[in-house]
Structure 1
Amino acid sequence: MKIDRQALLFGGIVLAVVCLVAAMVWFASLFQTSSPEDRTPVPVQDFFSSLFPFGNSTRPNVVSPNGEDTGPDGPVPQLRRVSDKPVAGFRFKSDGVLRYGERETGHMFEARTDAFPIVRISNSTLPGIHNIVWISDTTFVLQYLDENDTTRHYVASLASSTPDQFLSGRFFTGASDLSPTGSEGEVYALTRAATGLSVERASLETPQRASIFSSTLSSWKLLPTEKELFIETSPSSASGLLYRLSGGQLEKIAEGPGLMALPHPKGNFIAYSGTLGAEPALFVRDLATQETRRMPVATFAEKCTWFPFEAPLLLCAVPAEQVQLEAWYMGLFSTNDVFWLIDPITERTTLVKKLEEAGGTAIDVTAPAVSPDGRYAGFINKRDLTLWVLRLGP
């Protein structure tokens, strides 16, 4: 049977058109528009998280416009990064909640230790905050440098945890630095000048001040406790001095190169570090018996914190490598730390956590603090000034 070539050609064209139309219908069905209730928006951060799945564990908490966090769900890890931006300081409130301030904006935040939510409790912008002096749970001093590189002190209060409060306060003048006294309405005001240094006990509400110490040296640093005031020379590789100020008189506690001290909140013990050869050494002195013991870890006192209990117990971040004090203090060298628990009476040490292994990044601990119930530790990573929290107890 002979097939007409024109009929064959026409049939082929018809078949091609049918296939093309069918393909177009199928292709269009892939992109059909759904109703609004069927459509689930994909957040931008989820898109990038799917590209970089290894970043999911440290995905930033997102603070919504009303100040409430919309961060990740699921169990809270033992070690977690609380802030993604540099912080100027933090404090555990009496209820265990973390309150902290952001360096870039001066905004204040609160974070629970047992859950992800973060709440921005102030929306007043004070850029360039480099430090926060905590007077109490509700009163604090924001410190920043003005255009003349002079430290300014802004005293503020936030009594509640309500989101996006307006931050009101007042400036405290006539001081180079401030430290808490343990009293809600008072501070130690330190003033440096060409002739030396003076320390006054000053009211936050009135101009009233009382002189308690003066020196021709200007490099002193204040170390207040609940009952007493200790002073030390600024940490350096040179020989330093540590004194207790009692009744207007100075009692020498320690002396040596690289001296750095940490008094117990009750004032009955003091931990201090110095350099012995090429590495730091940590000591604890019982101020009642004057007995001094060297601890079996090599670290700086600034990497340690006391538990808020009557019995002495230290939590210390110990560098995994040898480090020089001045290089670390000036930011020329960063450590990779491991947390240890230290009983200064028995000298018993217990490994708590290898931070890089748990957090997925090297951590250089500074400004550690333990919560009032002893279950959590907060600290700042000196590498990027972010805030972290570690669960210590069940």
Structure 2
Amino acid sequence: MRRALIIIAIILVLLGIGVATYFLFFARTAGIAVAPTGSVSLPVAGQQEVPDIGIVNTSSTTPVIAPVPVSARLVKISAGPVVLGEVLVDIPAKNASSSPDVAINYIERESGNVFSYLTNTKTITRTSNKTIPGIQSASWLPNASLAFVRYLSGTDFSTINTYALPANGVGGFFLPQNLADIAVSSTSVLTLTSGVNGSVASLERTDGTHAISIFSTPLSALRVSFAGKNQYLAYTKPSATLPGYAFLVSGTGRFSPVVGPQNGLVALASPSGKWVLVSYTLVNAMQMTLINTVTGETFPLPVATIADKCAWMADDSVIYCGIPMNPPADIAYPDDWYQGAVHFSDRIWKIQVSGRYAQLVLDFPKETNDDSLDAEAMAINSFGTVLSFVNKNDGSLWGYSL
């Protein structure tokens, strides 16, 4: 297995070094802010002080704009652009006379301010006015108390910063610079450091302390995520022109192949890790399959998209995806989509895992009088009653009651 990994690494290392930062952070270069030169060094992970690296502790004067209901179930929460990555939290009823609610927590890209939208009352509250312009992505704790945000700094946009931003704006700390990837669970943060000699994944507490190395690999161009308890998913950075591979990694660091080689491979593990949704390209056409990691069985799906446009239900039973209508032919998927060279017109579909059948949930163009949706950063609450997504076409944030 190690020899096979080394061969794959040789193929992918040059691609990974050259394009990894581009795919993660340059999809919308206009929104990136450069931190001032001569900034002080970053603190050690876990420290609560905030250095002067693009972060300003000032109050924002930007007014909170009310959400726009489009239909009984669809609402435009923010015209955006918002940071990719929002989190939905179920709020129990306070008493017998009140109703439970769902909070959709998100970050405004221009300012870095944090907001919370309540789906029942249809109100928006600014929870933090700490200014961090140019954030590219956010990985939230499930309870929405903290978001690990990523942004670039330096005169040549070469430094990747990862900052733990509390939802109330109080405190915060930095993780080490130039992390290749990050994933967050309720108790842990999974980070990946990559270089010419391969990659090392570490696990630490959500306060940035007690980091331990959990696995290493000669592959230098990887994405990582949690895949159930004490298990991780690692797959090679997707490219339309290179074969991709996905692996399950045990808590002891043992790699088990899941799928590959497949060009343009993108993988999305279910919350339990029993299933992996895989998208890839075949003769420039998108394909999508479902893999049972216990039995190794592979099931083709009746609809196709890029797996990054999907989200799993908490119980592994359902997947929601933005499925393009009439996607252009002769396009390098997923590369051209990541780079913004191609845009889709999506409808939202529900895929039932047990029977592998698909059901149309939201005909977005019809619901909005022909507005075009290119869905990304899809998320769903744990009870499966509210779906949120960002429209890649304009960075707006939407909510839909299921």
Give the percent of matched residue pairs that are identical in Structure 1 and Structure 2: 27
For the structure 1 residues 174 and 202, does the alpha-carbon distance in structure 2 shift closer, same or farther, using more than 3 Å as the test?
farther
**Cα 1:287–1:82, aligned 2, differ >3 Å: closer, same or farther?**
same
In the TM superposition, what is the alpha-carbon distance from 1:87 to its structure 2 partner? Answer: 1.0
1:245 aligns with 2:249: yes
CA distance in 2 between partners of 1:71 and 1:283 (Å) = 36
Q: Provide the C-alpha distance between the structure 2 equivalents of 1:116 and 1:300, rounded to a whole number of angstroms.
A: 31
Partner of 1:336: 345
Match in the other structure for 1:278: 284
1:223–1:232 contact (8 Å) kept in structure 2: no
Q: CA deviation at 1:135?
A: 2.6
* Counterpart selection for 2:89 from 80, 93, 97: 93
Structure 2 letter corresponding to 1:146: S
Q: Secondary structure at the match of 2:308?
A: helix
The structure with the largest helix share of the pair is 1
CA shift for structure 1 position 357: 1.4
SS in 2 for 1:302: helix
Residue number in structure 1 paired with 2:221: 219
Against the structure 1 CA distance between its residues 92 and 374, is the aligned structure 2 distance closer, same or farther, given a 3 Å change threshold? same
What is residue 24 of structure 2 aligned with on the other side? none
Unaligned stretches of 5+ residues in structure 1 = 1-63, 159-164
Cα distance change, pair 170–318 in 1 and its aligned pair in 2 (3 A): same
1:65-119 Cα deviation digits (max 9, x unpaired): 79766566x8963222111121112110132210000111000000012343111
User: Would you say 1:322 and 2:322 are equivalent positions?
Assistant: no
Deviation at residue 379 of structure 1 after TM alignment:
0.6
Whole-angstrom CA distance in 2 between matches of 1:225 and 1:169: 27
Counterpart contact for 1:181–1:226, Cα < 8 Å: no
Which amino acid in the other structure matches residue 233 of structure 2? Answer: F
Alpha-carbon distance in 2 for matches of 1:344, 1:206: 36
In structure 2, relative to structure 1, the CA distance for the partners of 1:66 and 1:152 (3 Å cut) is: closer
How far apart, CA to CA, are the structure 1 residues paired with 2:185 and 2:358? 31
Of 352-361 and 233-242, more deviation after overlay is shown by 352-361
Give the Cα separation in 2 of the matches to 1:206 and 1:183. Answer: 13
- Aligned residue identity for 1:196: G
Residue 140 in structure 1 maps to residue 136 in structure 2: no
In the alignment, which residue of structure 2 is the partner of 1:124?
Answer: 130
Matches within 5 A, 1:195-210: 195-205=197-207, 207-210=209-212
Deviation of 1:380 after TM superposition, in Å, equals 0.8
One of 366, 375, 381 as aligned partner of 1:365? 375
Whole-Å separation in 1 of the counterparts to 2:353 and 2:206: 37
Task: Give the 3-state SS of the residue equivalent to 1:82 in structure 2.
Answer: strand
- State the superposition RMSD in angstroms: 2.3
> What is the CA deviation profile of residues 124-155 of structure 1, one whole-angstrom value per residue up to 9, with x for unaligned ones?
11111111111332122121111252111111
Cα distance in 2, alignment partners of residues 67 and 94 from structure 1: 26
Contiguous gaps of at least 5 residues in structure 2: 1-59, 92-101
Kindly provide the CA deviation profile for residues 210-244 of structure 1, in whole angstroms up to 9, marking residues without a partner as x.
21222233210012134121001111112100000
Secondary structure of 2:78's aligned partner: coil
Decide whether the 8 Å contact of 1:97 with 1:110 is kept in 2: yes
* 1:300 matches 2:309: no
When normalised by structure 2's length, the TM-score is 0.74
Larger radius of gyration: 1
Match of 1:353 among 349, 362, 365: 362
Distance of 1:320 and 1:377 partners within structure 2: 20
Choose which of 172, 175, 178 in structure 2 pairs with 1:172.
175
Task: Give the Cα–Cα distance (whole angstroms) in 2 for the partners of residues 171 and 288 of structure 1.
Answer: 37
